[in-house]
Each structure stands twice: as structure tokens, then as C-alpha cells.
């Protein structure tokens, strides 16, 4: 079944997980443009994309706006509970969600959705629990890889 919603973490998935600061203390994040194609591909097939992150930054808000992400939830402490709330709002089940995350705060959600994966840069303890490990590191286009895996499973075109 094609997911109705793809949820994603940010740090360690769309970024390499590093925290960068300039000389004035401003936080910086590097995003990979390949991930924007993942959003385009999902939208081509009517799949909504949402971001769930424990962080709360204007940087993530700007990136989500630029890519026309359908929903953005920042400062999330319990991602599974947030996903359940989203399911209730959308009248879908967790089985109709795909999720990519990379660390302990993602684990419950990774284990309870219909399709999940982690980047190969996730900690070993997480990779041992989540059986689908993608061949790309966080920050190197792994969100796009995740979307492509979903589409390939359903024999859908990877072009937009």
C-alpha cells in the first residue's frame, strides 16, 4: 500500500547531524538539494510530506517553506504521539505512514509505522533494531533515497 503520508526527522536525515555556528553564535545547517526531489516525487503521487523534529529553528521552517512541505512540527518531544494525532486529523492509520529518522527519539515511531528506514549513518544500536538501513548517510540525500525506495516498491516512475 502506498503511504498517504511520509514523515521525516531533520537532524541526521536532511542534515548530517552536525551543529554549525558562525562567529556570532548563529546556528547553521547544510541541506542537500537531492532531498527536494524527494518532496517533488512524493507530491507527484499525492503523498503528503511532514517534518517532525525536536529542534525549533527558523532554519528548518525556511527549508520546509521552500520545499512546500505539507506540515511542519517543531519542538516535538514524543514523535509517536504526534504521529497518532496527525493520523486522527487525517483519518488515516500509522500503517499508512512512512517514516525516516535516525536516533533514539525516532525509535518508537520507526517501529510503529507501515514503512520505515534509517540512514546508514544512524548509530549502530538503532540500525540493529530498524531492519531497513538505506545506503546513504544523513545529509547526503537520504530522504530522496527513502522516497525512491517507496516508489520502487510500488513500481512507480522516479521522474517528475
pTM: 0.96
CB 20 within 8 Å of CB 144 = no
Predicted local distance difference test score (pLDDT) of residue 33: 95
Question: How do residues 44-91 score in pLDDT, each as one tens digit?
Answer: 999 999 999 999 999 999 999 999 999 999 999 999 999 999 999 999
Q: Residues 92-112: what's their mean pLDDT?
A: 98
Predicted local distance difference test score (pLDDT) of residue 17: 93
Superfamily per CATH, domain 1-33+94-145:
HAD superfamily/HAD-like (3.40.50.1000)
Predicted local distance difference test score (pLDDT) of residue 108: 97
Predicted local distance difference test score (pLDDT) of residue 100: 98
Predicted local distance difference test score (pLDDT) of residue 125: 95
CB 8 within 8 Å of CB 31 = no
Compute φ and ψ for 110, nearest 5 degrees. Answer: -55, -35
Domain ranges, ordered by start, for the chain? 1-33+94-145
Question: Hey, what's the cell of 26?
Answer: 548563529
Question: How do residues 7-57 score in pLDDT, each as one tens digit?
Answer: 999 999 999 999 999 999 999 999 999 999 999 999 999 999 999 999 999
CB within 8 Å of 38: residues ≥ 6 apart: 49, 141, 143, 144, 145, 146, 147, 148
Cα(148)–Cα(156) distance, integer angstroms: 9
Question: Hey, what's the cell of 117?
Answer: 528506514
Predicted local distance difference test score (pLDDT) of residue 160: 74
Closest alpha carbon to 4 in 46, 52, 50: 46
> Is the pLDDT score of 93 beyond 90?
yes
Cα(150)–Cα(156) distance, integer angstroms: 9
Predicted local distance difference test score (pLDDT) of residue 159: 86
Per-residue confidence band for 131, with pLDDT thresholds at 50, 70 and 90:
confident
Amino acid at each position: 500500500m502506498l503511504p498517504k503520508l511520509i514523515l521525516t526527522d531533520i537532524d541526521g536525515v536532511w542534515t548530517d547531524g552536525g551543529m554549525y555556528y558562525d562567529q556570532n553564535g548563529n546556528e547553521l545547517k547544510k541541506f542537500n538539494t537531492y532531498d527536494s526531489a524527494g518532496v517533488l516525487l512524493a507530491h507527484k503521487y499525492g503523498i503528503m510530506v511532514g517534518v517532525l523534529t525536536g529542534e525549533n529553528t527558523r532554519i528548518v521552517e525556511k527549508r520546509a517553506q521552500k520545499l512546500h512541505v505539507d506540515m511542519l512540527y517543531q519542538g516535538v518531544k514524543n514523535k509517536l504521539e504526534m504521529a497518532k494525532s496527525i493520523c486522527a486529523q487525517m483519518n488515516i492509520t500509522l500503517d499508512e505512514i512512512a517514516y525516516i529518522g535516525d536516533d533514539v527519539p525516532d525509535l518508537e515511531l520507526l517501529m510503529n509505522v507501515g514503512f520505515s528506514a534509517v540512514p546508514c549513518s544512524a548509530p549502530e544500536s538503532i540500525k540493529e533494531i530498524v531492519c531497513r538501513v538505506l545506503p546513504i548517510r544523513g545529509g547526503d540525500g537520504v530522504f530522496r533515497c527513502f522516497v525512491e525506495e517507496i516508489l520502487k516498491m510500488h513500481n512507480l516512475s522516479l521522474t517528475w
